[in-house]
Amino acid sequence: MKFMLKPHTVFVKTTFQSSFHCESYTIILKTMQAIFGDIKMDDALPKQDARDKFDLYLIDGAKNNWLDLLPADLLCLAKKHKVVLFNVEQEAVCEKNLLMNHINGVFYKSDAPEVIFKGLVRVTSDELWFTRKVISKAFSDILLVASSFNSLQDDISLKQDDYAHLTKREKSVIHLIAQGASNNIIADKLNISDHTVKTHLYSAFKKTNSRNRVELANWAQRYVAVLLPMAK
């Protein structure tokens, strides 16, 4: 009695080279057929309006080097559908890159039929088929990005009082400092004297806890675009 997962309509994108030159290819297809029954095979993906009829896409990765970049059509497919790569050389892909681009799993050319069988059962149960280390690292990276964003938001929030004490003219000076303007250029743009520029500059140093114009420029480039409206 065959073990099958139902209902699942599976599309296998194959290649001419794999069909005739890979010894394990027949074993891979038989494993898929044992799980899913009938499968649709072609060397091209279905047209856009016919893709929703398939629950799972198995993409033959033979002869492809997807270590750094994945093809655009594969990325688009993975955003809307469940996609698994198979018949892949280990050195030809980066599992973390696949995971971060919505690929659900990968089977290597060296994988035994029982490994593929187990992985496909997992994938059709809405699980991922990557090494635990890769999943853990990707999750850690996501948390790190989220933490960095939250820290920036907290930092901005904590410094709101600094912005409230800046005058319109000081804000204008800070904007120009962020663009690399010299005191003479600032004076010309704002139609004020060089002495007045220095006065606003020193006041801005104090209010932003900057020791010099380099630190003020760094401060400005981080916060001005978000929180300081350009003074007229």
Tell me how far CA of residue 8 lies from CA of 3, 82, 129, in angstroms: 13, 11, 18
Sign of CA dihedral 83, 88, 123, 68: negative
Q: In what order do the strands lie in the sheet with 56-60?
A: 40-42, 10-13, 56-60, 83-88, 105-108
Q: Is the pLDDT of residue 229 over 80?
A: no
**What does the pLDDT look like over 158-172, one tens digit per residue?**
455 556 678 888 888
Residues 154 and 133: their CA atoms lie apart, in Å, by 31
Cβ atoms of 60 and 13 within 8 Å: the answer is: yes
Q: Which two tokens stand for residue 59?
A: 């993409």
Pick the more confident residue, 216 or 152.
216
List Cβ<8 Å contacts ≥24 apart for 157-161: 159/223, 160/227
Q: Is the pLDDT of residue 131 over 70?
A: yes
CATH architecture of the region 10-131: 3-Layer(aba) Sandwich (3.40)
Q: Domain 158-227, CATH 1.10.10.10 — does that match? A: yes
Whole-number pLDDT of residue 30: 76
The CA dihedral of 78, 80, 82, 83, to the nearest 10 degrees, is -20
Place of tokens 């003219």: 169
**What does the pLDDT look like over 185-205, one tens digit per residue?**
899 989 999 999 999 999 988
Q: Which residues contact 212 (CB under 8 A, 6 or more apart)?
A: 205
Q: Is the pLDDT of residue 71 over 50?
A: yes
Whole-number pLDDT of residue 165: 78
Q: Which two tokens stand for residue 116?
A: 């593929």
Domains of the chain, by residue range, sit at 10-131, 158-227
Residue 129, beta-bridge partner list: 105
Q: Is the pLDDT of residue 214 over 80?
A: no
